Amino acid sequence: MSFDKIKKFFTTNKYILLSILVIVVFFNFISASFIEGFTADQFQYLAPIKNSNTWSQNTMTQFAKKWNEKNNASGISVLQDNAQSLKFYISNTLEEEALYYIQNGIFPYDSYVTNYLNQNPTVIPTHETLANGTPLIPSNISQMWPNRIAYKQFIAPIESKQTPPPISYQIYMGTIPDSAGQISPITSSSLSSSSTLSEANYNNLVSLCKNIIAV
């Protein structure tokens, strides 16, 4: 395409191109502020559970059935649908997590534990296995252990030795609330301030628009 044709193209479509440019710039700033302000709790399932935590009988029955099926449990590894048999899980898992397991066959994991294990798979010893003998790896651990246990077994021993201790460990130990790990939710004021063009960017945008119109 010759320069004359390019010039003609821009001259003919300058208002369309200007509109596209303005839209792209606008959404660039909007999306950036949205990502920055998006609410997310990366430590959702780390906080300690109260000693009074309980599950309904229906939840215990369905959970035991689902867990045994998912893990091909046999012999002493088979879970019974009573509080004594499920004591380990009830003391480390909220009922809402158990209900999630019943529906999905895995425990809900927060992003912190998931990312840590995926990035550091060697923290899981090679001798650790599922109930059926399958080696335990980041992709299958959630079908056997809840989030808190995965953290306790493989991450806490490392982070407990760090100074100062990371937020994840403090939340797990209950020394700070899990809300401390949340990103502030997006608000109209933060959106407005984040998406406002600086004076330099504004001047550059105006200059660019003038150049397009002048073509």
The predicted pLDDT at position 199 comes to 52
> ω into residue 164 within 30 of 0, thus cis?
yes
32, 44, 131: which is closest to 79 by C-alpha? 131
For 72-82, what is the mean pLDDT?
Answer: 92
Which residue's entry shows tokens 């012999």?
75
CA distance 125 to 131: 15
Vertex 142: Cα angle to 92 and 38 (nearest 5): 85
Q: List the domain boundaries for the chain.
A: 3-39+185-214, 57-181
Instruction: Give the model's pLDDT for residue 41.
Output: 73
Q: 56 pLDDT band (50/70/90 cuts)?
A: very high
102-139 pLDDT tens trace: 999 999 999 999 999 999 999 999 999 988 889 999 99
Q: What is the pLDDT of residues 157-198, one digit of tens each?
A: 999 999 999 999 999 999 988 765 544 333 333 333 334 444
| pLDDT value, residue 209 | 53
Residues 49/202, Cβ–Cβ less than 8 Å: no
Nearby residues of 165 by Cβ (< 8 Å), 6 or more positions away? 159, 173
Residue 31 has what pLDDT? 40
Q: What is the pLDDT of residues 12-53, one digit of tens each?
A: 766 675 666 546 444 444 343 333 333 347 899 999 999 999
- In this prediction, residue 3 carries a pLDDT of 56
Supply the pLDDT for residue 17: 55
Identify the pLDDT of residue 177: 83
CA distance 189 to 192: 5
Q: Which residue has the tokens 């100074």?
A: 163
Question: In whole angstroms, what is the distance from residue 169 CA to residue 71 CA?
Answer: 29
